A and B are shown apart, each in its own frame.
Chain A
Amino acid sequence: MANSDSTTGSRADEGVSAICAKYDNRPDALIEILIDLQAERGCIADADIAPLADTLNLSRAEIHGVRSFYSDFSSAPKGRVSVKLCRAEACKSVGGDALAKAVEKRLSVQLGHTSPSGDVSLEEVYCLGNCALAPAALVGDRLLGRATADKIANAIGKSKT
């Protein structure tokens, strides 16, 4: 099943094999596997697709299709700190749009982009489940309530250290 160099021409990738093995090489665990791989490497690069396909006995198109479907996955590395701003209704009702503008200005990054230094990527999400303390943001794994540009900048500083 795995590492069939002769049939696919792809090279085995020990990191990929190790993560897939954690899930018994089950193709239905593909999303878990991609989450782990991205956590380790910062993205799901094009070069990762063939070894994944070989190990899980899936087609490359299937892996590519899943990678491109879910907004958490990225084919290129993102910033060292990820900042996710909630853009949904509950946050809009208490100034979410103004916050988004203020954060873009404060961090000098547009929503959906990564800062040139590679420090921060600023992303839109729809709902972080903190709607009673809106507006909400997620800096790394740290949830912020009643978020302001200051609080977000502060949390970025903390997660860098």
Chain B
Amino acid sequence: MTHPTIIWVPCDSAARSVGADAVAETLAVEAAERGVSLEIRRNGSRGLFWLEPLIEVDIAGQRIGYGPVDVSDIPALFEAGFLTGKPHDRHVGPVEEIDFLARQTRITFRRCGLISPLDTNDYESHGGWAGLKRAAILPPATIVEEVTRSGLRGRGGAGFPAGIKWKTVLGEQRTPKYICCNADEGDSGSYADRMLMEGDPFTLIEGMAIAGLATGAEHGFIYLRSEYPDAIATMNTAIARARTAGYLGPDILGSGKAFDITLRRGAGAYICGEESAMLDSLEGKRGEVRAKPPIPAFSGLFGQPTVVNNVLTLATVPMILSEDPGPEGYAALGEGRSAGTQPFQLAGNVRRGGLVEAPFGLTLRQLVEDFGGGSLTGRPLRAVQAGGPLGAYIPVSQFDTPMTYEALAEIGAMLGHGGLTLFDDNVDMAEMAQFAFEFCAEESCGKCTPCRVGAVRGAETMAKIRSGDSVEDNLVLIEDLAEVMVDGSLCAMGGLTPMPVRSAIAHFPEDFSADGGKN
């Protein structure tokens, strides 16, 4: 009897959003009717979303891709001989050799799309648990030192060195301590956290367990937004399986140290992606921002010493603790103080939307044009918003900026969570500036006045500008307001809302003229 042919069909929610489940079902039905023996396995997404649903046929260990596959393509795929890798309109060749993927340096996402997300053995056979096994026998200070040496910075947006944060918590004598994973990825244009949690959840669990061993925390929380029901289900199952297999629990891998994880769901508040608002939400309260100091490392969850890190930060730690690439290997990638790799996310009006993990330092143009292939509509690009709704709109003239924390700061922009939203020349930048204020008004926690009131006044004033009402005077007013919001807000919500607004005005003044850019 011959072995069944293995076909991978993604279970990632984005792939499912364009029909991956129906493709999997139809493949099974069609195979049964033809008397062909198939084993359908579900993987995460490779992050080549314009090809989703992207199915992969395993031919002697090499995975040959076909995508985007529609249910109606399936009979023809069988007839063309896709099970032996034969040509077809949807044939994209060996997946690892697709230019978009071959040119990446995947570390955080090395297993995503490759493995069966909830199979602990598949995870292990692809290098999983190696970092945790080392951490289990290392002194905490050594773990912290390795993370520091890797140069890993917080991937949530602030870019604070992870090792320094961990060292502070390790140095605190008070217990209990906590590891809080911020999985409230709410920035439009960002989906890396979701993709990772659905495609390789154990790497996040492993990273959190290492953080626990490193700092003396015995409990971790994942704060996961309700907009990601698939990620919630996958993470919950993964936590249970990791516990059964002994990677979580009272004695991790015989270290004598305990660590366990509780997943907590969000309830539709963008502000809970701000770390102190997230901590309040984890305590069962309104997600209101706390004044700093004290920082969470001293007084975080329930007032105890707490590490707060983003999903991608924690999910990168296992590879730093393992030998591949290890701290030195990771630090050697990237540019200057922007060490390692960053998962960039191409979003919005883009021909080839997807996840690009690459060392810091490639240019925005390389990402947008070489990887992304320009706009989806085929029209000229006009702007890219980098770093989500609080990030700057970058004009085409600045596309040669290297993607590092420092170079982006120099042009008044930021990396944020690495989301890049493309806009073609149909975009009205004054409308986007008004939207930035409206979004802030909708999502402000309301604790500080510059944000709560400023956002509303900003939206009103921007509406006047768009209707041609005292444009010059109102632009002065906007600048005054921006200054107050930047200087006076408690957190980045109010403090950064002026960034998209100011960048839109600075780079696209024609959209803010008295005639609304109509001439």
The interface of chain A, by Cβ under 8 A from chain B, is 26-32, 34-35, 62, 65-66, 69-73, 84, 86, 88-94, 125-134, 136, 138, 141, 143-146
Besides A35-B267, A91-B348, A127-B185, 9 new A-B residue pairs in contact (Cβ under 8 A), listed by A number: A27-B284, A89-B348, A93-B421, A126-B188, A126-B442, A129-B228, A130-B13, A143-B16, A145-B17
Give residues 1-27 of B contacting A (CB, 8 Å). 13-14, 16-18
Chain B window 159-184, contacts with chain A (Cβ cutoff 8 Å), 1 for yes, 0 for no: 00000000000000000000000000
How distant is A131 from chain B, measured CB to nearest CB, in Å? 3
Contact in complex: A126, B347 (CB < 8 Å): no
- Expressed in whole angstroms, the Cα–Cα distance for A145 and B53 within the complex equals 11
Q: Which residues of B contact A146 (CB under 8 A)?
A: 18
Once the chains are docked, how many angstroms separate the CA of A83 from the CA of B203? 32
Task: Knowing A89-B389, A89-B435, A94-B348 are in contact, say whether A66-B284 is a contact too (CB < 8 A).
Answer: yes
CB of A93 within 8 A of CB of B227, answer: no
**Which residues from B are CB-within-8-Å of A134?**
347-348
B285 within 8 A of A: yes
The secondary structure that dominates the B interface is: mixed
- Are B50 and A127 touching (Cβ within 8 A)? no
Q: Among A32, A126, A130, point to the contact of B264 (Cβ < 8 A).
A: A32
Q: How far is the CA of A27 from the CA of B349 in the complex (A)?
A: 44
Partner of A129, one of B185, B266, B432: B185
Residues of B within 8 A of A (CB): 13-14, 16-18, 49-50, 52, 185-191, 193-194, 226-230, 264-270, 281-287, 302, 345-350, 353-355, 376-377, 385, 389, 419, 421-424, 427, 432, 435, 439, 442-443, 445
Residues of A within 8 A of B188 (CB): 86, 88-91, 126-127, 131
CA distance A93 to B443 in the complex (A): 21
Separation of A32 and B346 alpha carbons in the complex (Å): 33
Are A132 and B13 interface neighbours, CB within 8 A? no
Q: Which chain B residues border A132 with CB–CB below 8 Å?
A: 14, 49-50, 191, 345-347, 350, 353-355
- Bound complex: CA A131 to CA B195 (Å): 12
C-alpha gap A131/B266 in the complex (Å): 20
A91 to chain B, nearest CB (A): 7
